Amino acid sequence: MGKAITGQTKKNQFLNIFETFGRSFLLPVSVLPAAGILKGIGSAFTNENTMAMYPWMNNVALQFIMGMFNMLGSVAFDNLPVVFAVGVAVGLAKHEKGSAALSGLLGFLVLHNTLNFLLSASGKLVDTSAENASALIAKSMQTTVLGIQTMDLNVFGGIITGVIVYLVHKRAIKIQVPQVFGFFSGPRLVPILIIPVMAIVAVGFFFIWPLLQQGINVLSELILKSGYIGTFAYGVIERLLLPFGLHHGVNWPVRTTPLGGVFNIDGVDYAGTVNAYMAALGSNGAIDPMITRFSSGKFVMNMFGLAGAALAMYVTAKPKNKKIVGSLLLTAALTAFLTGITEPLEFTFLFIAPALYAIHALLAGVTLLVTNMLGAAFLTPTGHGLINFIIYGVLQGERTKWYLLPIIGVFCFAMYFFVFLFVIKKFNFKTPGREDDPSTIVLHGKDETRKKMGVETQKDLAANQAISKKLDLTTQAEALIAAHGGADNIEAVDACITRLRINVKDASVVDSEHIKRDLEALGFNQSGMQMQSIYGGRANQLKIEIQDMLGMGD
């Protein structure tokens, strides 16, 4: 029994570490949607093929503005390694985040300057004045980062720097130095220690990175060669990880590192699907569907597949409940269609009938597979809905094959509709509106379902705003502390984009029903000893308020 508990504890610790690591990507990648929109719009209006089709775009003022958009968007994508070095350090740090940010930048500069020194001293630094310098640099696995010629660590260099800075930062801020050196204690000690630590790390990289790079290249090749099977597997696994908050750990490595593939665009190698796609948008050539295989199908699923599932739930609802259920499902389906925000519908599958969510994951894999097989080539850094589809698909011209979306979408809608219709009826799943006891319609109807699904009609808006005024931020935070067993039971407080995450010592005292029913949570999930309450955009505000009340650092 003791071994089983120990094994479960280790499993939970591993999941928590994996989740924390994946969630640390949220800060650095938060700049990508805005940068991607600028890049997408700019490249759409400055692409030579597009201008040839629409001569009116050859306007000096328009080209100047769009060229600036393109440049501003490129700033983030061209400097992802340093963005990740700072962002991961800040995202992982629990206290003194300013010190972590400074140390992340300093550590990154030390790493690459040391590598430059070692390459130069060993005679391995490629001569950039040579006639075929670009080819030699690429062959030697070197690149230029922030003006420093160094080893090509790509985004991994930034991620590893961020993790090392966090580990040093975590310990250094608690070190007591002699009184005479008191000024250098705490957060000021971290950047001082980072200099020798990252210099040592650079020496290690100098010797082992070539071997690691070969391993990464092999893994990248395997992922690319996995072809359609890999596309299907990714679609299923990514959806299955979503409820546990672990999907970031697979999404962002694929999007920003060689694990997503290395693609040659106009003679230059780009690692990661997002980087490659942004480079492809600025090129005049065709776009390789393998770059977008983990993204194109998500547009289809969000915009059409989930709408089919929503219709199946509406059709199977009892007639007396259809008016209420219809407004909820329509709003949730439109939200997924327009913005790509799918949690209202997906968490309905999960909370009401978990088997439906597993079926949804399989259908998601099928959707990604078929979309990839047909050659669709549109991608977005985040948010797979109509708005981003127009920017990254339609505006980029026919080379993205954006016209495939509505065609595939019709079949995806039908697939989701008929599969969900059959399964709901066959197993009598109690999806919204199918309750036997009309008094329990509140689970799926006007109050709790709308909270759980995160949607509200205009008719409910005034009532919900009145409730929110009564339950202000401070009151809500105090109540959440109590609902999690009090301050003594809370170990850590964090938040991602939509979820408040509270780690507790004893999960049995957490009142999840009270949190959902009375404290306005849109949903609740437990992952090990971490309690996840869905609050949408309010999650981060609640995190800060609770941390202040408990005297915790951010």
What DSSP line would sit under 79-97, residue for residue? THHHHHHHHHHHHH-SS-H
Catalytic residue among 62, 141, 496, 544: 496
- Terminal C-alpha separation, the chain: 37
Q: For residue 8, what are the contacts with CB-CB under 8 A and spacing of at least 6?
A: none
Structure tokens at 130: 């040579």
* 186/294 Cα distance (integer angstroms): 43
The kind and range of the H/E element at 494 are: strand 490-495
541 exposure class (CB count in 10 Å sphere: 0-12, 13-18, 19+)? middle
* Residue 412 annotated to the active site: no
Q: Are 376 and 292 in contact (CB under 8 A)?
A: yes
Q: Are 362 and 238 in contact (CB under 8 A)?
A: no
* 112/450 Cα distance (integer angstroms): 51
Q: Are 29 and 256 in contact (CB under 8 A)?
A: yes
Phi, psi torsion values for 284, nearest 5 degrees: -100, 0
Task: Return the DSSP state at 140.
Answer: T
Q: Are 294 and 254 in contact (CB under 8 A)?
A: yes
* 275/267 Cα distance (integer angstroms): 14
Q: Are 13 and 366 in contact (CB under 8 A)?
A: no
Amino acid in the structure at residue 135: A
* 453/460 Cα distance (integer angstroms): 14
Nearest to 240 by CA among 420, 360, 367, 416: 360
**Beta strands across the sheet bearing 523-527:** 490-495, 499-504, 530-534, 523-527
Task: Return the DSSP state at 292.
Answer: S
- Kindly list the catalytic residues: 496
